[in-house]
């Protein structure tokens, strides 16, 4: 999901020193040390939680977001990222509640609606997932991500023709996205549309991916 791509921008932290160890752990140690001096700092707790998330320390990050939300129940960043932590911890009902609470604060928020639809899919609420992602595509028809997300849900529900079409719509809006191209190529292979799949794979190669890295898919072509 778009979470880590926006994480640094939302919760920036400057690394002022690095040891020979893991730079992320060094930065986390700095944030933890700073919190020992300023334990009530919301900003520091959000920064520490950001480092915890980048280290896949979901429970530690959730603990920080719990603290922030106890002090600031409408903190948007904490609600959004705690929802993701809860999802990674398989606490789906809690994740759903965080997304829903976020939508109360910011009705129609794209990220929360997307997160909720993907969560419903993961939690086997297939009808709710499709309903949610359909509404998102209707509300944001120019979003490549919305079309691609619907394609992913359709693919998981074995609606391959619909998924292939929706990846095509996503690519109209983001024509050089290699992830969308590869996903569509894979679906086209499964639909035995080998010529079209080859076009997608060749496009990925033209964009700079070594052909050898796509050997698994090229080998499936007839």
pLDDT tens digits, 88-106:
999 999 999 999 999 999 9
> Model pTM?
0.82
User: Is residue 205 assigned to a domain?
Assistant: yes
pLDDT tens digits, 114-159:
999 999 999 999 999 999 999 999 999 999 999 999 999 999 999 9
Give how far the C-alpha of residue 47 lies from the chain's centroid of Cα atoms, to the nearest Å: 19
**Tokens in use for 26?**
């060094």
pLDDT given at position 17: 36
User: Is residue 163 assigned to a domain?
Assistant: no
pLDDT given at position 4: 33
pLDDT given at position 44: 87
User: Is residue 150 assigned to a domain?
Assistant: no
Q: Has residue 169 got a pLDDT over 80?
A: yes
**Tokens in use for 160?**
């391959």
pLDDT given at position 144: 98
Give how far the C-alpha of residue 180 lies from the chain's centroid of Cα atoms, to the nearest Å: 14
User: Is residue 115 assigned to a domain?
Assistant: no
Q: Has residue 65 got a pLDDT over 50?
A: yes
In degrees rounded to 5, what are phi and psi of residue 69? -75, -25
Q: Has residue 218 got a pLDDT over 90?
A: yes
pLDDT given at position 21: 60
Longest dimension (CA), the chain: 64
Burial class (CB in 10 A: 0-12, 13-18, 19+), 107: exposed
Counted domains in the chain: 1
User: Is residue 219 assigned to a domain?
Assistant: yes
Are the CB atoms for 42 and 50 separated by under 8 Å? no
User: Is residue 222 assigned to a domain?
Assistant: yes
**213 CB neighbour count, 10 Å cutoff:** 10
Are the CB atoms for 68 and 45 separated by under 8 Å? yes
User: Is residue 53 assigned to a domain?
Assistant: no
79 or 4: which leads in pLDDT: 79
* Distance between CA atoms of residues 38 and 2, nearest Å: 31
Instruction: Show the DSSP H helices in the chain as ranges.
Output: 3-10, 23-37, 42-54, 58-71, 76-88, 92-105, 110-122, 126-139, 144-156, 160-173, 178-190, 194-206, 215-218
pLDDT given at position 32: 73
pLDDT given at position 83: 97
* Distance between CA atoms of residues 110 and 145, nearest Å: 10
User: Is residue 102 assigned to a domain?
Assistant: no
pLDDT tens digits, 24-61:
776 777 767 776 666 788 988 898 898 899 899 999 99
Range of the domain at 207: 176-222
Average pLDDT, the chain: 88
């Amino acid at each position: 999901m778009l979470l880590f791509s926006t994480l640094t921008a939302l919760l920036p932290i400057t690394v002022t020193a690095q040891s020979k160890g893991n730079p992320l752990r060094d930065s986390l140690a700095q944030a933890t040390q700073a919190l020992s001096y300023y334990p009530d700092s919301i900003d520091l707790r959000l920064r520490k939680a950001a480092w915890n998330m980048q280290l896949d320390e979901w429970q530690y990050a959730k603990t920080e977001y719990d603290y922030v939300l106890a002090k600031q129940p409408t903190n948007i960043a904490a609600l959004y990222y705690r929802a993701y932590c809860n999802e990674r911890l398989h606490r789906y009902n809690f994740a759903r509640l965080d997304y829903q609470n976020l939508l109360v604060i910011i009705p129609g928020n794209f990220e929360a609606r997307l997160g909720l639809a993907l969560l419903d899919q993961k939690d086997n609420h297939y009808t709710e997932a499709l309903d949610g992602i359909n509404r998102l595509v209707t509300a944001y028809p120019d979003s490549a991500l919305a079309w691609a997300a619907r394609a992913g849900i359709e693919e998981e529900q074995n609606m391959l023709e619909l998924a292939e079409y929706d990846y095509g719509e996503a690519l109209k809006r983001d024509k050089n996205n290699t992830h969308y191209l590869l996903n569509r190529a894979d679906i086209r292979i499964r639909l035995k549309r080998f010529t079209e799949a080859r076009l997608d794979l060749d496009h990925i190669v033209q964009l700079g991916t070594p052909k050898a890295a796509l050997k698994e898919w090229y080998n499936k072509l007839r």
